[in-house]
Amino acid sequence: MSRDFPELHDFFGAYFHQDWTVEHDTAEKIIDAFLAESDFEDLVAVQRELYVLLGQNKNELALREYLLTELSCYYSYWNVWESGESWLRHIAEKLARRLDRHSH
């Protein structure tokens, strides 16, 4: 488990585990399920850790390795997204929109 990012580890480990495609056929549906099933505090915690991880400016290979080995993320984002950073920023934007709706 990632000591640096326990909430991200829980998110990726629970939603992007090795058999994630059995539950949903796209990564977008996985993210939407997380947004629908999580409470406000969990969403805030994941968003906070996501911004910290993005702020570390890891290179692409380091980020890919970190997502798999430390955060248990089994989604091959590089088949769809130009980089891990762009995919993680996409998740952060979806979180921000959900949290914005929740706060109004």
Residues 47-79: pLDDT tens digits?
999 999 999 999 999 999 999 999 999 999 999
Task: Give the pTM.
Answer: 0.91
pLDDT tier at 104, thresholds 50, 70, 90: low
Token couple for 93: 């934007």
Q: Where are the alpha helices (DSSP H) in 1-104?
A: 6-15, 20-23, 27-37, 40-55, 60-69, 84-103
Average pLDDT over residues 13-37: 92
Q: Where are the domains of the chain?
A: 6-103
pLDDT of residue 24: 87
Q: Is the separation of the CB atoms in 73 and 12 below 8 Å? A: yes
Give residue 101's pLDDT. Answer: 85
What pLDDT sits at residue 82? 95
